[in-house]
Structure 1
Amino acid sequence: MYNKKIEIDETIMKITSDTNPDFLENYVSNERDLLKDYCRNNNEFLESHSPIKFEKGPKIAKIMDDASKIANIGPMGAVAGTFSEITLNQLIEKGSSYSIVNNGGDIAFINKDKDKSVICGIYAGNSNISGKIAFKFKSSKKSYGLCTSSGTVGYSFSYGRADAVSIIAERASIADTLATSIANAVKGPDDSNAVEKGLEKAENYKEHFIGGIIIVNDSIGTIGKPPEIIAIEKGDLDEYYQDTIS
């Protein structure tokens, strides 16, 4: 297995793969430049909190735009998950059957090894549940995205107050926008009511995701058909990822 960390301005990406990922630094840098150039000339793409009219742009911008329209949010809500997705796709094109791309907690992965599981811990701010549970993914021929949005943790904007909304989809770009959109609805007079509002919002998008979880303090709701949720301690996770729990 190869481990690689890519740090380019806001992008902090950790990669574990059975394929040498050294080529990805240039790839990620080039894609960042394409997106930055596009945003400089298309301010609405950069700043809008709702879908925009997209006419022409680089492939990465088109992926983000498509995901934003599914979740009814602005295209920049897909940026982290899209970078994870396209980076994973590069590894798959080179024949990888086991790769994890973690872009600041927004994850894309593939695991075709029947003897391995992928365990992704869930970080949920000040909730007592934070860092104590994880998704356990069995091997599959498909790749997946696992992305998290929060109204209490991190720098991303949210209209809601979820400690974590984690969504699993077949594409990380879509998981990213759906996590944001559902998290925006997590609000209410008490924690359980806020979780219920998120679950109601998730019903609108159930054809686009596999499963997920909503956490507000000690209140939890599950969405769709998530994988097995297990109890963990931080030491149970791959040492390389212990400081970037999703």
Structure 2
Amino acid sequence: MSYLRFRFRHKQTIATILAERKEDYERVVGAIIRARREIEETIANDPLFLTTLEPYECDGKIVGRMCFASKLANVGPMAAVAGVIAQYAVEEASKHTSFVVVDNGGDIAMRTNKRLVVGVYPSDIGLVIEPCDEIVAVCTSSGKIGHSISFGFADAATVIGNDACIADAFATALGNSIKEDYGKKEVEDALEEFWKKAKRYVSGAIVVKDDIIGVVGNVPEIVRANICPDLITKG
């Protein structure tokens, strides 16, 4: 069965959603709105949750996961905001379908019964995602594009795992570690250091910087991909 492609925008959330049925898309949208509502209520009651760049303590179905991820990756909880929304939406939709993809501004959670190629932007590489009953997360932080805070200079710091909330936080941490003057050896060293902390929680990671591609852990097959700009989720 083929799939449908939807674009959804709600406040700061801009997502591309792939689903086989419109009702699965509607389930994703409902989950996104519920997740955002909890995050917005937390920010209204505790503004530091929004601005801190350090690990943070909080409770809640959604924000609790963000704070847990922030402690694992040593970043602020908002580093996991796009990932947790995508993850929760796919978890909810997966109760009714074996195919759903949520790309929330480059932080992707999916459950797929089809072979997919996920582009790593901005680059010309893609990751081959095979059919899988588990949720697969592909989350990317960039020091070159996008609205998210990054203190690094990677074109793309991509983390692969089974939880987009955790992968998103670790992608931010990895991206922050890539400095402007880093060459191949420094990128490899940064990945090795990153992996010491991250390997218990994610599957693997990729750094793209200029013409350098560094890989650590277990990552999907890497292929060259012609990424169509019209398919990129962006605001």
Look up the SS of the partner of 2:188 in the other structure: helix
- CA gap of 1:145–1:161, structure 2 versus 1, over 3 A, is same
One of 108, 118, 121 as aligned partner of 2:119: 121
Structure 1 match to 2:212: 219
Paired residue type of 2:223: I
Task: Tell me the distance in 2 between the aligned counterparts of 1:26 and 1:199.
Answer: 37
Query: Which range moves more in the overlay, 97-106 or 29-38?
Result: 29-38
1:199 aligned partner, one-letter code? L
Aligned equivalents of 2:189, 2:150: Cα separation in 1: 15
- The Cα of 1:190 is off from its aligned counterpart by 3.5
Instruction: Please say which of residues 143-152 and 184-193 is displaced more in the overlay.
Output: 184-193
Whole-angstrom CA distance in 2 between matches of 1:53 and 1:243 = 33
2:41 maps to 1:41 = no
Structure 1 counterpart of 2:55, one-letter code = P
Q: Deviations over 1:11-37 (max 9, x none)?
A: 011111124222433432232122111
Whole-angstrom CA distance in 2 between matches of 1:52 and 1:151: 23
SS in 2 for 1:160: coil
| AA aligned opposite 1:44 | L
Corresponding residue to 2:169 among 155, 165, 177: 177
TM-score with structure 1 length normalisation? 0.86
Structure 1 residue aligned with 2:94: 92
2:217 aligned with 1:228: no
Query: Secondary structure of 1:93's partner?
Result: coil
For 2:128, give the aligned amino acid: K
Q: Within 2, Cα distance between the matches of 1:25 and 1:190?
A: 40
C-alpha deviation, 1:100, in angstroms:
0.8
Distance 1:118 1:42, change over 3 A: same
Separation of aligned partners in 2, 1:209 and 1:148: 13
The answer (yes or no) to whether the contact 1:87–1:101 under 8 Å persists in 2 is yes
CA deviations on 1:172-211 (whole Å, 9 max, x unpaired) are 0011000001111111633324413431332221111111
Aligned residue in 2 for 1:68: 70
Query: Contact (CA 8 Å) 1:182, 1:201: kept in 2 or not?
Result: no
CA distance in 2, matches of 1:28, 1:190: 37
CA contact (8 A) 1:105 1:244 kept: yes
For residues 18-65 of structure 1, the C-alpha deviation after alignment (integer angstroms, 9 at most, x for no partner) is 2422243343223212211111111221111111232x3x31101111
1:102 corresponding residue in structure 2: 103
1:244 and 2:233 matched: yes
Aligned residues of 2:15 and 2:233 also touching (Cα < 8 A): no
Q: Which runs of 5+ in 1 are unaligned?
A: 125-129
Match of 2:11 in 1: 9
Tell me which residue corresponds to 1:127: none
Give distance in 2, aligned partners of 1:233 and 1:207: 33
Q: CA deviation at 1:148?
A: 0.3
RMSD: 1.9
Tell me if the contact between 1:185 and 1:201 (Cα under 8 Å) persists in the aligned partners: no
Q: CA separation of 1:201/1:166 partners in 2, compared to 1, >3 Å: closer, same or farther?
A: same
Q: 1:141 aligns with which of 133, 151, 156?
A: 133
Secondary structure (helix, strand or coil) at the match of 2:6 reads strand
Helix, strand or coil at the partner of 2:133: coil
Q: For residue 233 of structure 1, what is the amino acid of its counterpart?
A: N
Go from structure 1 to structure 2 and tell me whether the alpha carbon gap of 1:24 and 1:140 turns closer, same or farther (over 3 Å shift): closer
Size of the aligned set, in residue pairs, is 229
